[in-house]
Amino acid sequence: MTTALSFILGLTSTITQIIFLRELIVVLYGNEITYALILASWLFWVGLGSYICSSLARKIKNYLMAINLVQLIIVLILPVVLILIRIIKNILGIYPGEIIGINTIGFIAFIVIAPVGFLFGAFYSLICSCSKEKEGGERKIAQIYTFESLGSAIGGFVFSVILIPFISALNLTLILSGINLLIIILFGRNKKINVLSLCVVILLSMIMLKSSNIDERIRDWQWKGLNVIDSRDTIYGNLTLVESSGRYSLYENGMLSFTTGDELSSEESMHYSLLEHPNPKNILLIGNGLGGSLEEILKYKEIKVDYVELDPGIIDFAIKNLPPDVLEPLNDPRVNVIHADARLVIKKSQDKYDVVVVNVGDPKTALSNRYYTLEFFNELKSKLNLPGIISLTVSSNENYLTEEANQFLRSINSTLKAAFSDVISIPGETNIFIASNKKNILTLSAEELIGTLKGRGIRNNYVNEYYIPFKLSETRLAYNQKVLEEKGEINSDNKPITYLFNTILWSTHFGEKAIQTVYKTLDRRYVYLLLIPLLIFIFAFVQRRKIAHLPVRISILTTGFSEIIFQIIVILAFQSLYGYAYYKIGFIISSFMLGLVGGSLYAERLIASGRNLFKKYYLAQFGIFIYPLLLPVLFVVFRDTAFTLKYPIIFSSVFAFLPVIAGFIGGVQYPLAVHLMRTVKNSDQSKDAGILYALDVLGSSVGAFIAATVIIPLFGINGMAVLCAVVNLTVLIILRIYPNNLSVRT
């Protein structure tokens, strides 16, 4: 019975976590800091629920009834929390689509997730207690951990492969609720709870019959004040199309992608780069072609355009909902639409281009930052004809730039200069960077650009003979040049510094001084990385005689800390290499959970043998120390080896399953830790299991938060890997020098 309950717990909690993550990203702000805050909040509440319930376990008289009550409450609140997530901005008076600060994001995620996360943590602890009361057996805790991990692995895989494209989030929560209600009815022994569960099943069935209408009403409320034309979940995220005053705006994961009829933005982002080239013929457009960009490019005669859009759902969505005049460029024979990651297209394609327009918006996320790195610029350079030009457009300011904005713009400028022979910048509300692989091609002369415009017979409403002199006035250019003459930080795949600068710039709009202070204080000073292992060692030294099983507790805490960071590192590295980690997140989570299953099964065999268990535990800790040091090497192999580039689909799947190794090590460690704690004294094994689970999850919460918000942007993926290695080396030392805290070593 407990194994079935633990499987259902893993399945339900993982699918719920992914649903809430996707929904909150749409509502809040879809970048990796949002991911980290949501994940950290989830893990914190799960850990707290497990810890509190474990501490109070002895006061509970009927564990099975308590489990059924917790399940019933989860069933009732899952749809409620989903609805709350979608309308939370309206409740707080925040306009739909409005960008909010990091502090507000963290507050919303922390509060909204609290009840569900706490209950899932309590659920696990109660199952452990129930196994002791009803079934006994030392191996039962390991089996509970195994089946919970198996449920999580299957949940993540099924969600990613089957559920996302076909079933709405609301229907999924109703289905999960229904599964848990059936489990209550099958295993429950309290007639009142069973009758109540049956009534709720009937109620949920009635709601599902009207779910599409309910979902539509909730979406309308979520986007209150805007006319929602359609909303759809794809494997890459959520797409929502809204209409206002005859203009259509597409939001991807809650962030504005484009607005139709925005001629100024479309003309500026396209024409300056095309006018700089002496004879543009072959064009590569990366992203957002339907907002007017394709239409502007097609004003040029004898031109061919490869338009790359990662998510095919965007084109399908547009064809279904946008008016014919907006879709007309897609039907032009000169346009070739490619559905793939742009970096992968560039690596595999044999085509050469005269002009490449990077039209993905600001590097607000680690995903979009991939199109601003030195590695990407070098890849582009290899695909350019001679002469060849690339351009990109980022947010700026018309007349005054703050120091934070200066850092951001300098980083882009310096990274471009590290790859290209010549770089110019056109200032304004957006800053247009144009780079060439040949000197003396680019110009900031308004007279020359106007001459080219007229010579090609291009008629524009904004980028014309009246507007260009204003845009390229001497005063503007001089001020912009003064800002950019100072060298900036080079942006790279492993160290996304431009993404960090954009995050700092973002925080200035909301007066979040604390965030700016943290970043400026740390400012890539690697000595600060040593503070975490140093504090761990000092704590172990001070508390070595006060807390029983201290080395084991610390190792489980740091294992949770490290293994969530391993997953984040793999996700970011995958995104850098293949560009669609959002789609593969379920696979990455599932692969980690499968590793946990294998590790915990192996641990059961070790416990049954009863030989050298502390030595085996020590070896598992050594594995967690070595693993992060191997990751950077593997990333280089996957990135630079010709064989892996030749078969990207195969090797991207192999890459997504790297967390199996880390999961296996963690799966071995947890059951052994429960056993080692039992051997110290006659402790409550189910309570120990719940507390260790809480420490594991709370360590993951801390790791998720500091990795994505601070460490990776400041110190890069390699710095993060080294930190994990040093932390786990510290724990190895603690396990070695304080063995007396484990009075019985099996």
Give 310's DSSP letter: S
Per cent of the chain over pLDDT 90 is: 36
pLDDT recorded at residue 677: 77
Cis geometry, peptide bond prior to residue 387 (ω within 30 degrees of 0): yes
pLDDT tens by residue, 341-359: 888 889 888 899 999 999 9
Confidence of residue 584 (pLDDT cuts 50, 70, 90): low
Comparing 257-266, 324-333, 585-594, the range with the smallest average pLDDT is 585-594
pLDDT recorded at residue 744: 40
Q: Which residue has the higher pLDDT, 186 or 117?
A: 117
pLDDT tens by residue, 207-234: 777 777 888 888 888 888 888 899 888 8
pLDDT recorded at residue 743: 43
Q: Which of 681, 653, 495 is nearest to 574 (CA)?
A: 653
Q: What is the pTM of this model?
A: 0.85
Order of strands across the sheet that contains 255-259:
227-234, 237-244, 247-252, 255-259
Q: Which of 345, 396, 393, 350 is nearest to 372 (CA)?
A: 393
SS3 category, 388:
strand
pLDDT recorded at residue 645: 61
Cis geometry, peptide bond prior to residue 312 (ω within 30 degrees of 0): no
Task: Please say if the pLDDT value at position 55 is more than 60.
Answer: yes
pLDDT recorded at residue 583: 61
pLDDT tens by residue, 479-489: 999 999 999 99
pLDDT recorded at residue 218: 87
pLDDT recorded at residue 573: 76
| Measured CA distances, 514 to 35, 102, 240, 507 (Å) | 20, 11, 33, 9
Q: Which residue has the higher pLDDT, 61 or 104?
A: 104
Extract the tokens encoding 330. 């897609």
Sequence-ordered list of residues with C-beta below 8 angstroms from that of 282, at least 6 positions apart, any chain: 303, 304, 306, 351, 352, 353, 354, 355, 385
Contact 159, 18 (CB under 8 A): yes
Confidence of residue 745 (pLDDT cuts 50, 70, 90): very low
Average pLDDT of every residue of the chain: 85
Extract the tokens encoding 623. 């594995």
Sequence-ordered list of residues with C-beta below 8 angstroms from that of 338, at least 6 positions apart, any chain: 306, 307, 308, 309, 345
Extract the tokens encoding 104. 């507000």
Q: Residue 356's beta-bridge partner residues? A: 284, 390
Other beta carbons less than 10 A from residue 37's beta carbon = 26
pLDDT tens by residue, 602-648: 988 888 887 788 888 889 999 999 999 988 888 877 776 656 666 66
Extract the tokens encoding 196. 């109540």
What angle is formed at CA 55 by the lines to CA 50 and CA 59, rounded to 5 degrees?
A: 115
Most distant CA pair in the chain: distance in Å?
90
